[in-house]
Structure 1
Amino acid sequence: MKYQLDRGCHSVYSLRFHYICCVKYRRKVLTPEISEYLKKVNQDIAGKFGVQIIEQETDRDHIHIIFASKPEVQLSKFINSLKSTSARLIFRDHPENKKELWGGNFWSPSYFLSTVGEVKLEDVKKYVQSQGNP
């Protein structure tokens, strides 16, 4: 089995995540134009955090992002920055969304985040269990 590994000064790691966030009230405001704009904004934010966006795609009312992170990145701060910065810039450059999304919130307050592994949990458990002394 081969991992795609990243390296730090004193570490080797593979940290991949799947993030999903919905537009407030599930409003279908992510037009193709806004989606492309959002993807560029997300790339800029990720670069500032040292995060690599592997894939991102939107539907009309939510976004999926698969990203690779370094161990020192605080995921909650990264996600907060994604949500707050993208919302502010979308409202600034696409003010027509303010009619659909009153109250100044573009994104729902909740989100989904999970790890994305290159092996199944059961395989890792078996490997760890096999490391015991006979």
Structure 2
Amino acid sequence: MRDVCTDFEAELREFNGETGHVHLLVRYPPKVALSSLVGSLKGVSARRLRQEFPTHIHKYLRGKHFWSPSYFAASCAGAPLEIIKEYIENQKRPD
């Protein structure tokens, strides 16, 4: 995830998740289309997970896909960064 963010001149500040989804706190420049960043994060991570865990990954697939086509994004400009980071840190880790 960090490498993909770097390719987009973005910074991955926090990463965690729960069963079925992940939480990322990313600082990205205004010139980056969020849909492109998310698409790349999903594509690269799915490809790497398939390569690293080829037999284990099948129980997590949705048809032939690892990630849902949807995503949720929210702006946290003006919110204290530490509170956002604390929220993400307190989420369960993916199984």
**Short-chain TM bin:** 0.7 to 0.9
User: What residue number does 1:84 align with?
Assistant: 43
TM, length-normalised to structure 1: 0.54
1:54 is paired with a residue whose SS is strand
User: Hey, which of these two has a bigger chunk of strand by percent?
Assistant: 1
Give the Cα separation in 1 of the matches to 2:14 and 2:37: 16
Does 1 or 2 have the higher relative contact order (CA < 8 Å, sep 6+)?
2
Give the Cα separation in 1 of the matches to 2:29 and 2:51: 31
Answer whether contact 2:12 2:25 (CA < 8 A) is retained: yes
**Map 1:1-134 → 2, pairs under 5 A:** 42-95=1-54, 96-101=56-61, 103-118=63-78
Alignment length (residue pairs): 78
Structure 2 gaps of 5+ residues are 80-95
Structure 1 gaps of 5+ residues are 1-41, 120-134
**Structure 1: which amino acid aligns with 2:68?**
S
Runs of 4 or more, structure 1, over 3 Å off, are none
Larger radius of gyration: 1
